[in-house]
């Protein structure tokens, strides 16, 4: 049958979309806090090692599978080797979980973009965020919908629906071609402004002063790997899907290097911008940066930053640009996740593009509104993030590398595939990294993480709560993957599929 897949119309379109997926909330609100908590300047060592030994190799693996088997993750894995379909669904399931809370953060950013114009958050930014805005309650399941959050969430999901319905070239590519250059300009402006604030240098000192003893802590290493996976959008089935829309002649590895470099640059730049701004804050308060509170997670962007912005001359402009950057970065990543989910459903159930987009958007929007615009949203988000990223995706990467290299022995085929289309050639060391170093290292880290979570729980939360949003969520994703694999293929499961080149 003739191949009728929508494609990126040019390589730049693919690269911009892949950068759009990679550069996201992970760079702006996840990285600076994680780096600061995990050894500061010393964190750059595990971070760079994770990038070179696992990040880029797995990015290439995602690209190779997607481009060779030309389908979203479940079908691509199935075409590689039938039983591997379940792995594809597991990855897409994790992506779905992430999308549900990621959308909430994009929605908050949208609200704060509006609030920044008149610094609506006032003096008590913590009270405003958790009280007036989120209306956070105890860790319990709540059914009270908070309209200040629900309205921007609905807007975000509606926009996602439109982009997905338009498809790869007319929707996703177009949004990225416009948003990513805008984001780069906005962000550079922010960083330059931050660096010219009094106290900026102290902030950079605080971020980059190495705490070498952190390197002895295995949890620091797992944070580095988890950050790289999340940040590069790898082992989620998302880059498999993006690569599947590349045309036959596509320089895959060179594009991958550009994307990885852009993402890490953006991450380090975000760290610099965020900590320069915090340095200014500490300077205003006449305290040391280390004595500031709320330097990680959502609190950093939605509590600490608003407080700093209020103190800055011309702070509302800075605030508007900052939250606009969060929206642009987050939205383009969210699109990639949902495209992965929608394309998988489309292929398995033989749906049209618009039907799949509608089904996926409605289901995920409902879940994200139910979970995250209620008063229990903030805590659920943190727990889900922790388990999806430090456990789920690490497991996904282990299974993926072992299955490809050892179980189905596709390492060499995929290496040759990449080399046949790309100018940057991949050596045998790639298979060594994927087959030995990556899984061995990840297994050690995962075991350590599991032991910590089982013996110490998570953040002092009640056991049933962690059981539900942490372990329960993971169990549900695995169950869903098994069930989806078992369902019959209504879509394209062409036995005569022929791989490129
Ligand atoms: N890479 C994105 C970020 O850094 C998040 C993401 C994760 C996107 C997984 C796609 C898949 O924010
Ligand atoms: Na990223």
Three-state SS at 249: coil
Phi, psi of 145 (to 5 degrees): -85, 130
Is 4 in a helix, a strand, or coil?
Answer: coil
Which residue among 336, 338, 343, 390 has the greatest number of ligand 1 atoms within 8 angstroms of its CB, and so is best to mutate? 336
- Please confirm whether the linkage preceding 132 is cis (ω < 30° from 0): no
In this structure, what is the dihedral angle of CA atoms 193, 198, 202, 204, given to the nearest 10 degrees?
10
Which residues, chain by chain, have CB under 5 Å from ion ligand 2?
Answer: 22, 26-27, 231, 263
Ligand 2 midpoint to CA 263 (Å): 6
Burial category of 41 from C-beta neighbours within 10 Å (exposed 0-12, middle 13-18, buried 19 and up): middle
Cα 337 to middle of ligand 1, angstroms? 8
3-state SS assignment for residue 223: helix
CA of 219 to the centre of ligand 2 (A): 20
Contacts of 432 (CB under 8 A, 6+ apart): none
**DSSP-based three-state secondary structure for 374:** strand
Identify the DSSP state of 13.
H
Q: 336 CB under 6 A from ligand 1?
A: yes
Torsion of CA 266, 380, 153, 137, to 10 degrees: -120
Tokens of 435: 């087959």
- Report d(CA 290, CA 340) in Å as an integer: 40
* Collapsed DSSP state (helix, strand, coil) of residue 382: helix
- CA-to-CA distance for 42 and 224, rounded, in angstroms? 11
Choose which residue among 21, 325, 394 to substitute to test ligand 1 binding: the one with the highest number of ligand atoms within 8 A of its C-beta: 21
- Expressed in angstroms and rounded, the spacing between residue 307 Cα and the centre of ligand 1 is 27
The pLDDT value recorded for residue 1 is: 38
**Which CA distances in Å does 369 have to 142, 302, 337, 374, 461?**
12, 19, 17, 7, 23
Q: Distance between CA atoms of 185 and 320, rounded to whole angstroms?
A: 14
Q: Does residue 229's CB lie within 6 angstroms of at least one atom of ligand 1?
A: no
In the reported structure, the alpha carbon of residue 327 is separated from the centroid of ligand 1 by a whole-number distance in angstroms of 13
Ligand nearest the Cα of residue 264 is: 2
Q: How far is the CA of 332 from the centre of ligand 2 (A)?
A: 11
Please return the burial class of 144, using the count of CB atoms within 10 Å of its CB with bins 0-12, 13-18 and 19+.
exposed
Place of tokens 């498809």: 167
What six digits make up the tokens of 418?
Answer: 């990449």
Instruction: Give CA 234 to chain center in angstroms.
Output: 9
Question: Distance, CA 318 to ligand 2 centroid (Å)?
Answer: 22
Q: Is 409 helix (H, G, I), strand (E, B) or coil?
A: coil
The one-digit pLDDT tens for each residue of the chain (501 residues) are 344 689 999 999 999 999 999 999 999 988 998 999 899 999 999 999 999 999 999 999 999 999 999 999 999 999 999 999 999 999 999 999 999 989 999 999 999 999 999 999 999 999 999 888 988 765 555 667 778 888 999 999 999 999 999 999 999 999 999 999 999 999 999 999 999 999 999 999 999 999 999 999 988 998 899 999 999 999 999 999 999 999 998 999 999 999 999 999 999 999 999 999 999 999 999 999 999 988 877 888 999 999 999 999 999 999 999 999 999 999 999 999 999 999 999 999 999 999 999 999 999 999 988 887 765 667 778 888 889 998 999 999 999 999 999 999 999 999 999 999 999 999 999 999 999 999 999 999 999 999 999 999 998 888 998 999 999 999 999 999 999 999 999 876 666 688 776
**Residues 108-119: b if buried by 16+ CB within 10 A, e if exposed:** bbbbbbebbeee
Q: Please give the pLDDT value at position 141.
A: 58
How far is 165 from 268, CA to CA, in rounded Å? Answer: 34
pLDDT of residue 140: 57
Q: Is the CB of 238 under 6 A from ligand 1?
A: yes
Ligand nearest to the CA of 326: 1
Closest atom, ligand 1, to C-alpha of 333: 8
3-state secondary structure of 250: coil
In this prediction, residue 3 carries a pLDDT of: 47
The secondary element (H helix, E strand) that includes residue 114 is helix 85-116
Q: Does any ligand 1 atom lie closer than 6 A to the CB of residue 22?
A: yes
26 lines ligand 1 (CB under 6 A): yes
Distance 439 CA to ligand 1 centre (A): 21
Residue 21 CA: which ligand 1 atom is closest? 8
- The rounded Cα 161 to chain-centroid distance in angstroms is 19
Taking alpha carbons only, the member of 490, 247, 242, 235 closest to residue 355 is: 490
Task: Count CB atoms within 10 A of the CB of residue 246.
Answer: 24
CB of 297 within 6 A of ligand 1: the answer is: no
């Amino acid at each position: 049958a003739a191949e009728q897949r929508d494609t990126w119309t040019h390589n730049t379109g693919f690269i911009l979309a892949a950068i759009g997926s990679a550069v996201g909330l992970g760079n702006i609100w996840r990285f600076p806090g994680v780096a600061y908590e995990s050894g500061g300047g010393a964190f750059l060592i595990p971070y760079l090692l994770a990038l070179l030994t696992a990040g880029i190799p797995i990015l290439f693996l995602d690209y190779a599978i997607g481009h060779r088997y030309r389908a979203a993750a479940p079908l691509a894995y199935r075409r590689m080797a039938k039983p591997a379909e379940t792995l594809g669904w597991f990855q897409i399931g994790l992506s779905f979980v992430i999308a549900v809370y990621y959308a909430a953060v994009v929605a908050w950013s949208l609200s704060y973009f509006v609030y920044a114009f008149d610094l609506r958050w006032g003096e008590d930014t913590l009270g405003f965020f958790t009280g007036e805005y989120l209306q956070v309650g105890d860790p319990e399941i709540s059914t009270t919908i908070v309209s200040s959050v629900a309205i921007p969430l609905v807007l975000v999901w509606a926009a996602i629906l439109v982009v997905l319905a338009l498809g790869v070239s007319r929707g996703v590519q177009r949004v990225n071609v416009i948003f990513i250059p805008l984001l780069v300009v906005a962000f550079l402006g922010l960083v330059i402004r931050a660096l010219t604030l009094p106290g900026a240098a102290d902030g950079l000192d605080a971020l980059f002063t190495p705490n070498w003893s952190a390197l002895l802590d295995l949890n620091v290493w797992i944070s580095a790997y988890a950050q790289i996976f999340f940040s590069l959008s790898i082992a989620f089935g998302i880059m498999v899907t993006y690569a599947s829309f590349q045309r036959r002649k596509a320089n895959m590895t060179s594009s991958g290097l550009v994307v990885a470099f852009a993402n890490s640059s953006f991450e380090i730049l975000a760290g610099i911008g965020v900590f320069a701004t915090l340095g200014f804050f500490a300077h205003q308060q006449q305290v040391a940066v280390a004595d500031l509170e709320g330097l990680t997670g959502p609190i950093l962007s939605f509590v600490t930053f608003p407080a700093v912005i209020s103190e800055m001359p011309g702070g509302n402009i800075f605030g508007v640009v900052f939250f606009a950057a969060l929206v642009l970065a987050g939205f383009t990543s969210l699109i990639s996740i949902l495209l992965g989910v929608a394309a998988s459903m489309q292929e398995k159930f033989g749906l049209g593009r618009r039907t799949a987009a509608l089904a996926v958007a409605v289901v995920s929007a409902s879940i994200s509104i139910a979970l995250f615009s209620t008063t229990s949203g903030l805590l659920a988000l943190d727990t889900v993030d922790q388990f999806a990223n430090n456990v789920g995706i690490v497991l996904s990467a282990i299974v993926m590398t072992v299955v490809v290299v050892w179980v189905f022995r596709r390492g060499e085929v995929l290496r040759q595939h990449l080399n046949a289309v790309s100018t940057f050639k991949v050596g045998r060391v790639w298979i060594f990294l994927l087959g030995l170093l990556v899984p061995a290292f990840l297994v050690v880290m995962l075991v350590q993480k599991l032991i910590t979570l089982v013996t110490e729980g998570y953040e002092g939360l009640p056991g049933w709560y962690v059981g539900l949003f942490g372990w329960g969520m993971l169990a549900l994703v695995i169950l869903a993957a098994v069930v989806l694999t078992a369902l019959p293929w209504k879509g394209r499961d062409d036995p005569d599929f022929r791989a490129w080149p």
